Structures are given as C-alpha cells and as structure tokens.
Amino acid sequence: MLKLKSKQQKNRSEKYNNILDSAGAVFAQYGFHKATISQIASQAGVADGTLYLYFKNKEDILFQFANFKTDQVFKKMHSAVKKGKNAEEKLRNLIRCHLSEFQNDKNMAIIFQSEVRYLRDMESQIKDISKMYLDLLSDIIELGQIEGSMRKDLFVGLVKRFILGAVEGVINTWLSADGRYDLVPMADPLVELYLTGVKGK
C-alpha cells in the first residue's frame, strides 16, 4: 500500500513539474497575458481539465512557477557562495551561478526578466527574488569590508543595487540577442568592473 502511494506521489510530482515546465515555455513564447490554459495543456500533453487538479488558474500557475524556480536557483546560489573562501570568490561564484542558471533555462530568464518583474499585483504571492539576491550581496559586501578587500566608505545599499542592475542588464542584452552567445564568461569582467571601477591609473 505504501509502495503504491509512493508511486502515485511520484507520478503526480512528475506531471506537476511537466506542467510547470510547459507553462514556462508558453509564457516565455506568448507572454503571460496572451498565453492560455489550452496552450499550456497542449504543451504538457494533458487535457485542459488536468491543469485544474494542480492549479487554480493561470495566475496560480505563474505564482507556482516563479516560486518553484526561485527555490531551485537560490539553493544553487547559496551553495556556490558557500564555496568561496573570501568575499571576492563568493561574489564571482554568485555571479557565475546567476548567469549560468539563467543561460541554462532561457524560458525562466525571459519570465523573470519580464513577466514577474512587471506583474506588481503578484508581488505578495511571489517570493521576492530581488530581495533574496540583495541580501546575499549585502553579506558578501560586508565580508569584503571586514577583510579589507572592499572599501569601507561604500554605501552597501547602493553597491548591491548597482551589482544586481548590471547583472540584469547583461542578461537582458543576452536575451535581446536571442541567447546567441555564451553568457557565463561575462561574470569575471563584471566582477572586475565592480572591484576596480572604470577610472584609469
């Protein structure tokens, strides 16, 4: 009986994940407002009614997609940051992980850079990916100031928003180019810019 229940839970989980992935593809292609339940069901290879066994409506699918992806990405980001021996390594690992995850899941990148960001009515139900990211950056910057590798006169709130904005700008440029180049090698030049600035010697 337990074995049967476990198998049913596994099948349900696989179908749920399949629907989320399919929804990601549809939202990325058509945009949230133009996407339909029928398109998502067709992409997932299930009947329209099957979606309502897992989700309340289209908005709920986007909520759960965003929250599911946020959990996945931030587990990897936390792991990458922990591997760094100092603030600079932690920052490089974070940026590389960020760019790598978005490059490996272009649909997620499109949705997070467009749909989720501008659907303000969903903020209370979608995990605040920006806040979580900024908190990680705060810890890294403060560690760098303690280590002496980053200036202590910097306003942390300004610096972390500058870093996040620059990374998002690089991702948006990559998406505009339809992902035709490798995104991850942009990580080190970004970190060098953060650490050394643009002023000549």
Is the per-residue pLDDT at 57 higher than 50?
Answer: yes
Residue 116 pLDDT greater than 90, yes or no: no
pLDDT at 201: 58
- Mean pLDDT value across residues 133-139: 93
Give the rounded percent of residues in the chain with a pLDDT score beyond 70.
87
Q: How many other β-carbons are positioned within 10 Å of the β-carbon of residue 162? A: 15
* C-alpha to C-alpha distance for 142 and 156, rounded to whole angstroms: 8
| Mean predicted confidence (pLDDT) in 107-133 | 75
73 vs 31: CA distance, rounded Å: 22
Confidence of residue 13 (pLDDT cuts 50, 70, 90): confident
Least confident range from 58-72, 106-120, 168-182: namely: 106-120
191: pLDDT confidence band, cut at 50, 70 and 90?
very high
Domains in the chain: ranges and CATH: 1-55 (1.10.10.60), 58-196 (1.10.357.10)
At 5, is the pLDDT very low, low, confident or very high (cuts 50, 70, 90)? Answer: very low
**What is the average pLDDT value for the chain, to the nearest integer?**
88
Query: What's the pTM?
Result: 0.86
Q: How confident is the model at residue 12 (pLDDT cuts 50, 70, 90)?
A: low
Q: What is the pLDDT of residue 123?
A: 61
> Following DSSP, what letter does each residue of 43-110 receive, concatenated?
HHTS-HHHHTTT-SSHHHHHHHHHHHHHHHHHHHHHHHHHT-SSHHHHHHHHHHHHHHHHHH-HHHHH
